[in-house]
A and B are shown apart, each in its own frame.
Chain A
């Protein structure tokens, strides 16, 4: 039994877990996110967009890795575009980068425990939380294998395990399904639905069917701007039979992008 601190029982005072207004973020010299307005609450949000649309840059700025060049960005009710102390916000974040380096001699368990330590979790909570995170991604059998012996899909799942180890209120997953086989993808969708019940999950992907199957909300960006935000059903209703794509959702996606490109040109 443990004492519940006042901070844990305090009601949330922010309407959105993630709130960006006119957000601008630079990637090198290029303004990859340029005036993006976004408000995300609890649930699973699928982030779609063509290559170079600014998805990864947006993810990085939401993970407080990149500093916004302009606009406002609030995470969990705290402003993060200033020089404010980011530690409190970061304790509530989970982030899986598109590519992540790791120390090859670490085992999966050591890697996740090391990340839990970096996330400043209470010392006595770390071993249990690590085991739980590894079991949730289905990697328990490989928990004591070295990171360098893992396959691409297993590495991805180890990355997801480190992202969820601190039970984050905002979870950012950049292309988590790359390298997963079809069965693992189904398990992953199940995990996403589970995570999305009480936290804000943003999943960047290229697979429209993943979004339709597992997300409560779809966000489409192109050239650093928001194109569309709505439910998967609304996305599906955007397409007509004349649009390219093999499923109604794909047709909706390509119709929206085509309309956006025509509008900005």
Chain B
């Protein structure tokens, strides 16, 4: 620690016009680097430069043009929700509405809401990640934010509409909640995981067709609820959801180009 420079030397150091030997300037600067007290003395000893700048800035801000209006809700909405998936969400909601109506008219029939729950989110997930539905895809696809995170964000926005609708439909028809929601989440995760290999739209179409052929059609023909939808299978669906979500997370690199293949 060097000795403290006298207030007079500090004052001359701060004064632009004062003449101070270069060696003295060096020693003062070396000392100032290590001594907080002298730095404080330096800022108060000279003229009130900082205070003048602060008042000047305050008046400039007060008299200058007002800051641009911001509509945060609109921007936030676009970060999560993609308008292009709105028609597909409507399709899903209409499907669930029909299922509830049929349930009312045919009480003896196996629960249609249960049958439709896995495929309900698929149109919206596909709509959230398909080039031809989003007018600004070419701008989005070249940005660093495009990828699994964006797909997940958009899927979450779609699920935020589908899950309450599904809960409501299940409540109306007396369906066990877990058996309505778990297959829905499992199929969403499966779409994303499979989408990393073949493209999200193709994955959604394939899974939807497979479920329709393998489960919905036989059930409608035989009017017996299939084994995969019995209440006891809930833990299996939960496990599948977790496993598929994990698989999707490891395939994030495949989803950088908005379409995952070619």
Contact of B134 among A84, A88, A101 (CB under 8 A): A101
In the complex, what's the smallest C-beta–C-beta distance from A139 to chain B, in angstroms? 13
B123-139: CB near A (< 8 Å → 1, else 0) gives 00000000000111111
A42-85: CB near B (< 8 Å → 1, else 0) gives 00000000000000000010011111000000000000000111
In the complex, what's the smallest C-beta–C-beta distance from B162 to chain A, in angstroms? 23
In the complex, what's the smallest C-beta–C-beta distance from B71 to chain A, in angstroms? 7
B101 within 8 Å of A (CB atoms): no
CA distance A90 to B142 in the complex (A): 7
Contact of A91 among B69, B71, B144, B254 (CB under 8 A): B144
The answer to whether A95 and B142 have CB atoms under 8 Å apart is yes
- Knowing A86-B144, A95-B142, A110-B71, the reply to whether A66 touches B257 (Cβ < 8 A) is yes
The answer to whether A106 and B74 have CB atoms under 8 Å apart is yes
Q: Is the interface of B mostly helix, strand, loop or mixed?
A: loop
In the complex, what's the smallest C-beta–C-beta distance from A173 to chain B, in angstroms? 13
Q: Is the interface of A mostly helix, strand, loop or mixed?
A: loop
Q: Which of the 9-residue segments A115-123, A180-188, A214-222, A230-238 touches chain B?
A: A115-123
* B contact residues, range: 20 to 34
Chain A residues within an 8 Å CB radius of B134: 101
B198 within 8 Å of A (CB atoms): no
The answer to whether A102 and B145 have CB atoms under 8 Å apart is no
- Knowing A86-B256, A100-B139, A110-B74, the reply to whether A117 touches B144 (Cβ < 8 A) is no
In the complex, what's the smallest C-beta–C-beta distance from A193 to chain B, in angstroms? 24
Q: How many residues of A contact B (CB 8 A)?
A: 37
A109 within 8 Å of B (CB atoms): yes
- Knowing A67-B257, A87-B147, the reply to whether A93 touches B142 (Cβ < 8 A) is yes
In the complex, what's the smallest C-beta–C-beta distance from A142 to chain B, in angstroms? 12
The chain B residue sitting closest to A172, CB to CB, is B142
- Knowing A106-B74, A109-B68, the reply to whether A118 touches B140 (Cβ < 8 A) is yes
The answer to whether B262 and A67 have CB atoms under 8 Å apart is yes
B-binding residues in A (CB < 8 A): 26, 60, 63-67, 83-88, 90-91, 93, 95, 97, 99-103, 105-106, 109-110, 113-115, 117-120, 143-144, 162
